[in-house]
Chains A and B, each alone.
Chain A
Amino acid sequence: MDSPADAVLTQLRKGVLEYCVLACLRERPAYGLELATQLTDGRLLTSEGTLYPLLSRLRKQGLVESTWQESTSGPPRRYYQLTDHGTNALAAFAQTWRPFSEDVSAILEDSR
């Protein structure tokens, strides 16, 4: 059974993970394993495989699109990249997240 801290983390991930995926793609396109490793290293994903249903939803929502590119170490890879819609969604999240996280931090500090 999950500890209370794990349960909180699970809830928090649900709200922010899709924007973290968009943020990983802000600078350049990335392929699945690359994205999964980056997010798992940052403890944002519990397991790499859970990234793929999320990527499918992001594509369905038009936030992300994929293209095939040649690879130097094997067959062509599917690269995911932000759409204009995805860029706007990420900008809106970033704009909201900073004051929101500051408010949460301030409340947590005050209630000590």
Chain B
Amino acid sequence: MNTTPRNGLSHPLVAAYLNDLERALSSADQQERIDTITAVREHLTDALAVDDAQGGNTEATTEQVRAALDELGSVEQIASAATPASATVALAPPAEQKQEGGWAAPALLATSIVSLVLPIFGALLAIGCLVTAVVLLRGDAPRRGMLQATVAVSIVTLLITAVLLAGTLFFNIATSTTSEGPVISSNAAPAPSAFAPTPSQP
């Protein structure tokens, strides 16, 4: 006679066990949690169906349910055999970071080289490249040689910009100092006339 195994699963002890199992696996890897809960349901369906067939009873008795749950073990034991979700999450970022560093290093180096030939705007690019390269170097990004080259090129760009700015500033001051001479003399020119004796009154 075919049994109706869902009867076993609808037993209050089984329902409570499955609820507890779901809670115990809440911090487990998502796929393992889904697979484990599904497999434990199938296991209980089989375990209680076999018992039903042997006893010739379509309803699993409380003793049969208890025995099946004892064989399965505590929900804590099952949860301790699962991979914690944090373990899978913790593994993911370094892989992403390495991948990011993989293309980031050549891109940064190319950008920093471009920044060498761009006046002013190049300095802004160089600052961006420098900061990103330092951040990646502090992590475990690959192609560290390229990142170190990026740092060097960015610093050279910033030095060149600083020298150019200083030169421009110096030139401006020098130019303005030289151009102020004639202005002073032109202003001074009328001065004598200011002090010139006023024509005598008749």
Contacts and interface: CB of A to CB of B under 8 A. Distances in A.
B35 A59 contact: yes
The SS class assigned to the B binding surface is helix
Nearest to A72: B2
Interface residues of B, number: 30
Interface of A, secondary structure class, is: helix
B32 interface: yes
Interface in A43-93: 46-50, 52-57, 59-60, 73-75, 77-78
Contact of B2 (A31, A47, A50, A74): A74
Given A32-B43, A57-B32, A74 B3 contact: yes
Interface stretch (B74-82, B105-113, B166-174, B188-196): B74-82
Contact of B31 (A36, A48, A56, A74): A56
Interface string B24-39: 0000100110011001
B25 to A, nearest CB: 8
A32 B37 CA distance: 12
Given A53-B82, A73-B53, A48 B72 contact: yes
Given A53-B32, A77-B42, A78-B39, 20 more contacts: A33-B43, A48-B43, A48-B72, A49-B21, A49-B40, A49-B43, A49-B75, A50-B80, A52-B39, A52-B40, A52-B43, A52-B78, A53-B78, A54-B81, A56-B35, A60-B32, A73-B3, A74-B3, A74-B45, A74-B46
6 smallest beta-carbon distances between A and B, as pairs: A47-B73, A56-B35, A53-B82, A50-B81, A49-B72, A49-B78
Interface of A: 31-33, 36, 40, 46-50, 52-57, 59-60, 73-75, 77-78
